[in-house]
Each structure stands twice: as structure tokens, then as C-alpha cells.
Amino acid sequence: DAGITQSPRHKVTETGTPVTLRCHQTENHRYMYWYRQDPGHGLRLIHYSYGVKDTDKGEVSDGYSVSRSKTEDFLLTLESATSSQTSVYFCAISDSGSFNEQFFGPGTRLTVL
């Protein structure tokens, strides 16, 4: 299994509070991604990173920011959580040397009350 961990695994928070989710990898892969999974939508890309301090937006980036200060860590921040951000969040990694096959972390279930 690819070495990807996410923390926390579960979180309940209130509307308006800041939330940071962490993705940590031990594979030294270049690319890292944050997806959210919602019923009826499958998985949708929020943000991705193609290197340290190199990030870009995905298709559902509003209300989210990311940071990558080290190869192994990719942080997703909800500056002011809303109920519409209740979801399951998955981190993924890939590397150009392996045809960019993506591998996923275990997910974080976030509930915003």
C-alpha cells in the first residue's frame, strides 16, 4: 500500500470555524491532490500540487486553500467552514515516473454543524 495518511480521520466542527486537514506521504511523490466525495457527485478535485509551494485550483476550489511547504505534507484549509463543506475528503498522490497512477489516502469525514 502507498504510504499515505490523513489526519484527523473524523472531525465535527461548527459553522464559521477554521479547519485544517493534513495529508502526509512517505513515497516522495511529486503530485498531491485533494478531492471531496459527496453523494451523487463521485469524487471532485479541490486543489492539487505539482511540487513544494506549487499549487493550483481544481473544479470545486471556492472556500478552500492549500499549502505545501514540504514534499511529504499537503494541507487543506477551510478558512470559515460552512455546512456545504460537510463531506468526505480524500488525499491522493502520484508521480510522473509511474505514469501518474493515483493512490488515495483513507479519507477524512468532516461534519460542519
**Among 15-23, 51-59, 65-73, 74-82, the segment contacting other proteins (CB under 8 A):** 51-59
Q: Rule CB under 8 A: is residue 40 a binding residue for other proteins?
A: yes
**Amino acid at residue number 79:** E
Q: Rule CB under 8 A: is residue 58 a binding residue for other proteins?
A: yes
Closer Cβ to other proteins, 18 or 23, answer by number: 23
Q: How far is the CB of 100 from other proteins (least distance, A)?
A: 4
Handedness of CA 87, 91, 72, 48 (dihedral sign): negative
- How far, CA to CA in Å, does 43 sit from each of 24, 26, 57, 107? 20, 23, 15, 12
